[in-house]
Structure 1
Amino acid sequence: MRLYALCDQDLLDKKGLSLEDFISTAKEKNAEIIQYRNKNADIAFIKQQLIKIRKMYDGFLIVNDAYELIEFCDGVHVGQEDLMAIDKDIFAAVKIIREVIKKDKILGISTHNEKEILEANQMDLNYIGLGAYRNTDTKNNVTTVLGEKLDSLASLSKHYVAAIGGVKESDKFSHVTYHVVGSGLL
């Protein structure tokens, strides 16, 4: 199991935890990747948080959505709706992001079904997030829970797959590279 730690600022705030608390736990668990997600802050605050994380953590650092901050991290993760906000054509949106972040940076997108996986196979990506595996408290807009189907869907991807949504460190998959765990680390 390779750990991809999802650091969600809203969740930290709700639980009264600091960024330092989360990073310390992620390091103890040997997380290979940390994604920082903050859907409510301005770019300046997100930048400050990325700089703080970078001082505490030397693994791969991914920012959620804010690809304009790529100089402060190793990559970006973008959800389907956020791709559509960049361009109604998700293929064009991925190209726009890739042009900004360049080839040497990591790019991942969220996928939820076979159609999105097959579309992602045609994109210049490093990985896909696939889920939700099970219901989760941190995302209240989950429409599809994949459950046991997640692993067979993962086999369709030509990219690395990060299982997302209610994933536990103890979950077993055959076709998944990373377990994305957020609240499960807290």
Structure 2
Amino acid sequence: MNIPKIYPITPSYLSTNQLLTSIKKLKRDGLNLFLYRRKELSKSAIKAELSLIAKLCFDQKIYLILNSYHKQDTKNNFSGIHLTSLDLRKEEGRSFKSDNLLGISCHSEEDIIKAESLKADYIFLSPIKETTSHQEIEGMGWKKFSYLSNKTNLPTYALGGLKKEDLRVAESYDAYGIAGISNFWNT
């Protein structure tokens, strides 16, 4: 599977209908993959929403990656799991089909080493800049990002306070691509 240079993560502010419409727009924009992360919804709402999204993704040939928070919420088809850095510390091996993608959020060199030991397919490295969602965490900046991303051969996405327009800058600091929430959806 070819993973894209721009990797959207679902925002919390979209309704289910808005999210479905936005997923269709992703395909029109040439993107074929996104990370589903909707922790703010109830378990029953997540199951109902994932059922609709999984069908749409199958029909549109879009890869649906689930945040590890949701891995128990669906029996539907999905294309991969993305582990949080907290889940990374608990994992001992791939606990799902090996042909599914495994992505991992990393914040340190130790996280990157662990991600490699789990045979991750890609990593998010964050935060690059300060973000509204994690105001208590200082951004690492591009130089530290470059240093850490050069510690691995895994495709490394820059995440945190970025816009789609930051892709070229990210690539100049050794990023494979960029990931994001609020600035990555055409709503």
Q: Distance in 2 between matches of 1:108 and 1:70?
A: 20
**Aligned 8 A contact 2:5 2:178 in 1:** yes
* Alpha-carbon shift at residue 110 of structure 1 (Å): 0.6
Q: Does 1:144 align with 2:147?
A: no
Q: CA deviation at 1:141?
A: 5.5
**Which of 153, 156, 170 is the aligned partner of 1:161?**
156
Change (3 A) 1:77 1:21: same
Q: Does 1:108 pair with 2:97?
A: no
> Pairwise mapping of residues 57-72 of structure 1 onto structure 2 (< 5 A)?
57=57, 58-65=61-68, 66-68=70-72, 69=74, 71-72=76-77
**CA 1:21–1:79: 2 relative to 1, 3 Å:** same
**Which residue does 1:93 correspond to in 2?**
91
Deviation at 1:151, TM superposition (A): 2.8
Match of 1:79 in 2: 84
Q: Determine helix, strand or coil for the equivalent of 2:14.
A: helix
Match of 2:13 in 1: 11
Unaligned runs of 5+ in 2: none
Distance of 2:19 and 2:92 partners within structure 1: 29
CA shift in 2, pair 1:180/1:5, >3 Å? same
Rate the CA distance shift 1:71–1:103 in 2: closer, same or farther, 3 A. farther
Instruction: Give 2:49's aligned residue.
Output: 49
Please identify runs of 4+ aligned residues in structure 1 that moved more than 4 A: none
- For 1:142 and 1:31, locate their aligned partners in 2 and report how far apart those are by CA, in whole Å: 31
Q: Which residue of 2 aligns with 1:118?
A: 113
Deviations 1:6-61 (A, max 9, x none): 112x2325xx9711232133223222311111112344432322232233332211
Matching residue's letter, 1:31? L
Q: Which amino acid aligns with 1:80?
A: S
Q: Distance in 1 between matches of 2:7 and 2:184?
A: 11
Q: Structure 1 CA distance, aligned partners of 2:45 and 2:126? A: 28
Judge conservation of contact 2:146–2:175 (CA < 8 Å) in 1.
yes
Normalising by structure 1, what TM-score?
A: 0.79
Question: 1:112·1:144 contact (CA, 8 Å) conserved in 2?
Answer: no
Secondary structure at the residue paired with 1:11? Answer: coil
Equivalence for 1:177: 176
Q: How does the TM-score come out when normalised to structure 2?
A: 0.78
- Give the match's secondary structure for 1:40: coil
Backbone CA RMSD of aligned residues: 2.5
Q: 1:159 to 1:43 in 2, by over 3 A?
A: farther
Name the SS of the counterpart of 1:20 in structure 2.
helix
